[in-house]
Amino acid sequence: MTSLNSVPLTLMVNGQAHDLELPVQATLLDVLRERLHLTGTKKGCDHGQCGACTVLMDGETHLSCLTLALSAQGHEIRTIEGLGGPDGELHPMQAAFIEHDAFQCGYCTPGQILSAVACVEGGHAQNDAELRDFMSGNLCRCAAYPQIFEAVKSMAGERQ
């Protein structure tokens, strides 16, 4: 039996396979940040209460802080680093966030953007109340909520 301190696993992140040996209790968030140095995924509470650690798992928003890394095996994980185009061009939602000044300190921003993408792509911005409710799983202490709302709404409008 392998040591609980170094369990082997393979994670697929942004289309790339990473072979790792991890403590059994490592979370996906800590693996992304501390071992893969994909620090765009943020730690704001480590308890599923702020949304800063949001990633896409098989296209769905998940909280990486409450995801055991071992459980993430076999899933396609997409982080903010994998959202833009291959040559670094911004995803339209990223551009909308800049245009609407939908962030200040920027720390919650990657999580906000991934949720915003899921919001629009999943058709959860049918009306203002639905959009705001969907985006309520991502706290913004700088309180850029009015600007986040406008950014997401502008993209939902584009889509229609």
Partner 1 sequence: MTVQKGQPQNYVGQRVNRVDGPDKVRGAATYAAEFDLPELAHAVLVSATIPHGSIKSIDETAARAVPGVLDILTHESEGIELKPVKAYPRGPAGTSVLPLQSPKIEFRGQPVALVVAESLEAAQHAAQLLEIEYDASDFRATLEQGMNGLPLLDKVPMPPLGHSRGDVGKGMKDASTTFEATYDTPVHHHNPLEMHAVTAAWDGDERVTIYEPTQWMQSSQYTLAAMLGLEPDNVHVISPFVGGGFGSKATTWPHLPTAVLAARKLGRPVKLVLSRAQMFAAVGYRAATTSAYTVGLDDNAQFTAMTLDAQTQTGVSDLFPEQVGNVPKMLYANPNMELKQTLIRTHAGPNIMMRAPGEASGGFGLEVLMDELAEKAGLDPLEFRRRNHAPENEDPESGKPYSSKHLLECYDRAADAFGWDGRTPEIGSMRDGNTLIGWGMATATYPVYASAATARARLCASGHVEIEAGSHDIGTGTYSILAGIAADSLGMDIEQIKVKLGDSRLPKNGYSGGSRTASSVGSAVLAAAMGLREELLEAATHDSNSPLHGVAGQDIKVRDGGLYFGDTDQGETYTAILGRMGKDQHEVYRETIPHEGSQKQLDQLKAGKDGSVAAVAERYARHSWGAVFVEVRIDPDFMTPRVSRIVGAFDIGQVINAKTAESQLTGGMVWGVGMALHEETQTDDRTGLILNSNLAEYHIPVNADIGSVQAIALDHPDFRVSALGARGAGEIGIVGTAAAVANAIYHATGKRVRETPITLDKLL
Partner 2 sequence: MRPFEYARAQSVAEAVGRPGKFLAGGTTLMDLMKLDVERPAHLTDITPLRENGELSQIVEDGGGVKIGALASMSQTAEHPLIAERYPALSQALLAGASQQIRNMASMGGNVMQRTRCPYFRDLAFKECNKRDPGSGCGAIGGHHRKMAILGGSDACIATHASDASVALVAYGAALTLRGPDGERRVKLEDFNLLPGETPHIEHDLREGELIVALTLPAPIAADGVYLKVRDRESYEFALSSCAAVLDVQEGKVNAAHVTLGGVGTRPWRSPEAEAALVGQPATRETFEAAARAALQHAHPLAQNAFKVPLTARVIVRALMQAAGQIDEAGNPTTGANA
Q: Which residues are near partner 2 by CB under 8 A?
A: 4-5, 7, 23-25, 27, 46-48, 51, 54, 57, 60-63, 65-68, 70-71, 74, 115, 118-119, 124, 132-134, 136-139
Residue with tokens 């308890």: 47
Q: Which is nearer to partner 2, 34 or 99 (CB)?
A: 34
Tokens of 70: 């071992």
Of the candidates 36, 37, 45, 38, the one whose C-alpha atom is nearest the C-alpha of residue 63 is 45
Strands of 15-146, DSSP E: 16-22, 54-57, 60-63, 76-78
Pick one of 61, 67, 94, 154: the residue that binds partner 1 (CB under 8 A): 94
Partner from partner 2, partner 1, none contacting 70, C-beta within 5 to 8 A by type:
partner 2
Q: Which is nearer to partner 2, 64 or 147 (CB)?
A: 64
Residue 57 main-chain phi, psi, to 5 deg: -115, 115
Q: How far is the CB of 58 from partner 2 (least distance, A)?
A: 9
Touching partner 1, residues 27-66 (CB under 8 A): 30, 33-34, 37-47, 49-50, 52
Partner from partner 1, partner 2, none contacting 29, C-beta within 5 to 8 A by type:
none
Pick one of 14, 68, 107, 121: the residue that binds partner 1 (CB under 8 A): 107
Note every long-range contact of 14-23, with CB atoms under 8 Å and residues 24 or more positions apart, other chains counting. 14/38, 14/77, 14/78, 14/79, 14/81, 14/82, 15/76, 15/82, 20/69, 22/69, 22/70
Helical (H) or strand (E) element with 2: none
Q: How far apart are CA 134 and CA 125, in angstroms?
A: 8
Q: Binding residues for partner 1, per CB under 8 A?
A: 3, 5, 22-23, 25-26, 30, 33-34, 37-47, 49-50, 52, 79-81, 83-84, 88, 90, 94-95, 97-99, 101, 103-110, 113, 129, 132-133, 135-149
